[in-house]
Structure 1
Amino acid sequence: MDFALTEEHNMIIESARAFVEQELYPFEDEVEKTDQIRPELYESIKQKALEMGFYAANMPEELGGGGLDTVSLTLLEKELGRANFGLQYIVARPSNILQACKGEQVDNYLLPTIRGEKIDCLALTEPNAGSDVRSMECRAERDGDHFVINGTKHFISHADVADYVILFAATGVEDTPRGPKKKITTFLVDMGTPGFTVEQGYHSVSHRGYHNCILNFDNCRVHESQILGEEHRGFDVANEWLGATRLSVAAMCLGRAERALEIATEWAATRKQFGKPIGKNQGVSFKLADMALELKAAELLTLYAAWKDDNGGMTDTDAAMAKLKATEMLQMVSDEAIQILGGMGLMDELPLERIWRDHRVERIWDGTSEIQRHIISRAMLRPYEQ
């Protein structure tokens, strides 16, 4: 395995870092204070991302996307992850499962989303169904060539700015050796469809400017042509999406941790107490060493998973390890960075308190840390099952 980055990789890192520092950093304070992103600012960032070729970088070049391989995309997302999440998410990575679009869906959803003309959001989580996807209560019952959808989704990210939702709903029950399980189907549902409403979600301390919403379906009718993929095979689609998003979460955590470590290192080198820089004290210098070690370990796990994906070999365990390590590493690095800065670390003059607040959700969404450990251990034990 070649651990060296290519010239193209370094160009991506440099251009993405410059984009983040010039186009995103200047607006972080505004978003943190207002919890909003002005429409004109949203459009400005999106247009600049399109011009730079960062928008839809995860989609194939032949479809109009950036066509980046997974390692390149991971490096891009690491740099974007340094900024406020609401701002960096404008540099959209459409859901990779949209490549399952067929027929008119390609022109109505896939291509407009890649071009930035439409925005998608995913609706999987429910009030009574989080990690246990099969227990979802939102159902879609067939009525001729239509489906009637009833139920509620919550914690649905950026549904307040989306044009349509990629909805996962139960469409039946199947018998398995472990008992009955719900069949799940994925639908493309436009905002404004009768019977479908979006409500403001809960106030979160993490990721200001990036909102969660509650989706309500009350006898919402959609045509069977709105099925994404195959009927009853939505769980397969969900698994494909989760693997990619877990790697994205890991990559963005690397960027935030790197920024936090840079701030802590500069502070340790310049802040003087008792006549010398505090970094000269082992109590501080050893913290820096441990932070750097954990960051490097998480980075190697993440890039290794990305490399395996490019070579067709990434497993659920690879993605789970990357997400688990990177999210828990960010917890440690952000907390220790604040400890090094003392009281100043908690002041909003610096981004550390935001990074510390934002890190908490990373160990929950896209599969909790406990779910990642379950995935890893289950794969280890599977060969011994009778």
Structure 2
Amino acid sequence: MTSFGLTDEHQMIAQTVRRFVEHEIYPHEAEVERTGVVPPELAAEIKRKTIEMGFYACNFPESVGGAGLNHLEFAIVERELGRGSMALNHFFGRPQNILMACKGDQIERYLLPAVRGERMDALAMTEPGAGSDVRGMKCSAQRDGGDWVANGTKHFISGAEHADFVIVFMATGEDQTPKGPKKRITTFLVDRGTPGFTIREGYKSVSHRGYKNMILDFDDCRLSDAQVLGEVDGGFEVMNEWLYATRITVATMCVGRARRVFDYALDYAATREQFGQPIGKFQGVSFQLADMITEIDAADLLTLAAADRLDKGLPANREIASAKLYASEMLARVTDAAIQIHGGMGLMDDYPLERFWRDARVERIWDGTSEIQRHIISRDLLRALGA
């Protein structure tokens, strides 16, 4: 594991979370993979143990009851969580940082209960016809008297089946610009059970079984101004301030999962014999191992460096995009190479490699596709030259 100048405290955080994942998450992965369900009592147990460790909502400041980890420290936590099942790690508890935008009564109703683990949240942005085009969203909220009336559909909403409330981005108007119509976006806090708001089963995914995606339907759902997070038509400001670093989470978890996959490949190469010697002795295998660990370390350093820039208050949009792009594509190469080293056994469910292989595919899509990351990177480079 690359150190990146990590302190003893950083190493302690990594070791503590890794031990938790190994002892509390690994033993239940096969059953969740088989059934596609996390039993409620197991979810409650994981949450309880996380709270006891002092790591629940560790991404929130101490002023609201969180552990107050900075971006680098939180990246280390997410990296170690990446080794385990996302369906189970969901209950380790990392509420959306966007809740720090809560004001007034919202603090007691949403922010503090989420930090304490009393209420769970989910973030809803993606729509069937919009995807990466946030400005193209059709889910809207229109003024009606003193309230808002919301209509439309969101999909691919992770964790919504467990959510007590959902953070939803909706179109609330439109401006005419030289480049055409530009939608105004507002963020709303919507409680489960609100009339006109339905959470239903999503699609069956081959990646991350048990970590479900849900569909949210809004049918003349009435919302009050008290449920607006931030300012009316200020959804992009809220998004840019609080969701800026979510791509680091994908990158760090890819690194953690890649290290677990590599450990399987390394052990197999050292113990599996062919032609009277361990297969790791053959250059065709040993060179694959060398490439794998080099790519993993490179992704780790990219990710930690991006988090460190955030902590130092430096611009990091390009660096975060580079980390997300490289780490997610690295994970695909590493899982594929690990299966190749295992041969046919790598595709059997006796090993978890085929699961990691399937899980790796979605990382290049959610939280901004690889194409979106390349767009962010290239625009940052060219903009400085006026192009």
Q: Give the TM-score range, shorter chain.
A: over 0.9
SS in 1 for 2:127: coil
Match of 2:106 in 1: 105
- Distance of 1:121 and 1:212 partners within structure 2: 11
Match of 2:312 in 1: 311
In the alignment, structure 2 segments of 5+ residues that lack a partner are: none
Match of 1:46 in 2: 47
1:35-74 matches, cutoff 5 A: 35-74=36-75
Confirm or deny: 8 A CA contact 1:242 1:366 kept in the other structure. Answer: no
- Distance of 1:263 and 1:115 partners within structure 2: 37
Deviation, 1:233, is 1.1
- Distance of 2:343 and 2:337 partners within structure 1: 10
1:257-296 matches, cutoff 5 A: 257-296=258-297
- Distance of 1:376 and 1:177 partners within structure 2: 25
Match of 1:191 in 2: 192
In the alignment, structure 1 segments of 5+ residues that lack a partner are: none
- Distance of 1:258 and 1:196 partners within structure 2: 41
Deviation, 1:178, is 2.2
Deviation, 1:62, is 1.4
Query: Could you give the per-residue CA deviations for residues 85-111 of structure 1, whole angstroms, max 9, x where no partner exists?
Result: 101121111111100000000000000
- Distance of 1:123 and 1:169 partners within structure 2: 9
Query: Could you give the per-residue CA deviations for residues 153-181 of structure 1, whole angstroms, max 9, x where no partner exists?
Result: 11111111100110000000113342220
SS in 1 for 2:132: coil
Match of 1:205 in 2: 206
Name the stretch that deviates more: 173-182 or 353-362. 173-182
**Cα RMSD (Å):** 1.1
1:116 lines up with 2:79 in the alignment: no
Match of 1:367 in 2: 368
- Structure 2 residue identity aligned to 1:381: L
Match of 2:231 in 1: 230
% of aligned pairs identical? Answer: 61
1:210-225 matches, cutoff 5 A: 210-225=211-226
Match of 2:344 in 1: 343
1:172 lines up with 2:163 in the alignment: no
Deviation, 1:282, is 0.5
Number of corresponding residues: 385
Deviation, 1:241, is 4.2
1:139 lines up with 2:140 in the alignment: yes
Query: Could you give the per-residue CA deviations for residues 245-295 of structure 1, whole angstroms, max 9, x where no partner exists?
Result: 100010100110000001100110111000011000010000000001111
Deviation, 1:240, is 3.4
Match of 2:97 in 1: 96
- Distance of 2:80 and 2:144 partners within structure 1: 47
- Structure 2 residue identity aligned to 1:342: G
SS in 2 for 1:173: strand
- Distance of 1:160 and 1:141 partners within structure 2: 26
Confirm or deny: 8 A CA contact 1:253 1:330 kept in the other structure. Answer: yes
- Structure 1 residue identity aligned to 2:268: W
- Distance of 1:240 and 1:324 partners within structure 2: 21
TM-score normalised to structure 2 length: 0.98
Deviation, 1:29, is 0.6
- Distance of 1:312 and 1:148 partners within structure 2: 39
- Structure 1 residue identity aligned to 2:102: C
Confirm or deny: 8 A CA contact 1:125 1:133 kept in the other structure. Answer: yes
- Distance of 1:237 and 1:377 partners within structure 2: 24
Confirm or deny: 8 A CA contact 1:112 1:118 kept in the other structure. Answer: yes
- Distance of 2:362 and 2:186 partners within structure 1: 27
- Distance of 2:239 and 2:358 partners within structure 1: 28
Confirm or deny: 8 A CA contact 2:138 2:171 kept in the other structure. Answer: yes
TM-score normalised to structure 1 length: 0.98
Query: Could you give the per-residue CA deviations for residues 212-260 of structure 1, whole angstroms, max 9, x where no partner exists?
Result: 1111101100001100011111022223344321000101001100000
- Distance of 1:241 and 1:283 partners within structure 2: 45
Deviation, 1:199, is 1.1
